[in-house]
Amino acid sequence: MVNVLIGNKNTREIDILCQELANEKNYRVDNAITGYDAISMYWKVNPDILVLDNNLSDISLEDIVNRLSSSPVERKRCNTILTLSPHYSMKLNNVAKINEILYKPIQSNELVEAIKMLSIDYNTPDIEFGEIDWLLQSLNFNCMSSGYRYMKDAIIYCYYRPDQLEFLNTVLKYLAYKYNVPETRVRDSLKSCIRPFNNTNVYSCSNDLYKVLYNNGDKLSLKDFIERIVFYLIKVKRKDRLF
């Protein structure tokens, strides 16, 4: 799965690009129509690829890139595509974050092809079949418990959308909607499901995972458990490239 954030105030151009990417079935697209929204959404959703147009009038394109480059980690991520007017004069200090510049009018599929090429290096690797089962069962989870399927889906949902980890209620609402059950049932089932993990300190998981979940002898809350598991998966599957 490749997470793409588009900063462009032209909603028609956004719709066209979203449709083209939807046909690929491997992209999740968020969009912002102001520069400040693009910055805040970038920090929130942590996209794999950023597409910025110079038509964002509230803040300059250069300022957006400079602000995102303020983080040493982000400065090294060459994951940004710029779409510029033909006579746009760019005054940019931090160019390391820029992967490609396309000048308008952009040829058919040119932007999509640029995104595809960039996604080879910047993407969110898919969860493999049985991967979450192995992980949970190595932590003493009972695959026959009523909350097991909720826990699996909660982890997978947040793995592809780490911004949703901020509020557990958002995850519970998603699960309740998916399975057509009350949120209280989902919450109670998840709390029951995590109990065997919290009631012992003997696991068959890897040492790395054990270190991530170790909480100085204290039990982990449901939110903390899901959050730590998700960030462990992101780190491992991106081969230590957390962002």
The answer, as to whether pTM is greater than 0.75, is no
Q: Which amino acid would we find at residue 45?
A: V
Q: How many domains does the chain have?
A: 2
Using CA atoms, how far apart are residues 21 and 15, in angstroms rounded to an integer?
10
From 96, 119, 142, give the residue that closes a domain: 119
* Full domain range(s) for residue 44: 2-119
Closest CA to 231 of 82, 1, 46, 24: 46
β-pairing, 27-32 with 98-103? unpaired
Q: Is residue 126 one of the residues assigned to a domain?
A: no
For residues 198 and 140, the answer to whether their CB atoms sit within 8 Å is no
* Tens digits of residue pLDDT in 89-130: 888 777 888 999 999 888 878 998 999 888 877 777 888 888
| Residue 150: C-alpha distances to residues 176, 191, 220 (Å) | 9, 11, 17
CB-neighbour burial class of residue 155 (10 A; exposed 0-12, middle 13-18, buried 19+): buried
pLDDT tens for the 243 residues of the chain, in order:
888 999 999 888 888 888 888 777 688 889 999 999 999 999 888 888 999 999 988 998 889 998 988 877 777 788 999 999 988 888 877 788 899 999 988 887 899 899 988 887 777 788 888 899 999 999 999 999 989 999 999 999 888 877 788 888 989 999 999 999 999 999 999 999 999 999 888 888 888 888 898 888 889 999 999 999 998 998 887 654 444
Q: Is residue 124 one of the residues assigned to a domain?
A: no
pLDDT at 228: 92
Question: 170 with 194, same domain?
Answer: yes
Question: 157 with 111, same domain?
Answer: no
Question: 91 with 158, same domain?
Answer: no
Find the CATH number of the domain harbouring 81. Answer: 3.40.50.2300
Question: 143 with 48, same domain?
Answer: no
Using CA atoms, how far apart are residues 53 and 98, in angstroms rounded to an integer?
13
Tokens of 50: 């950023």
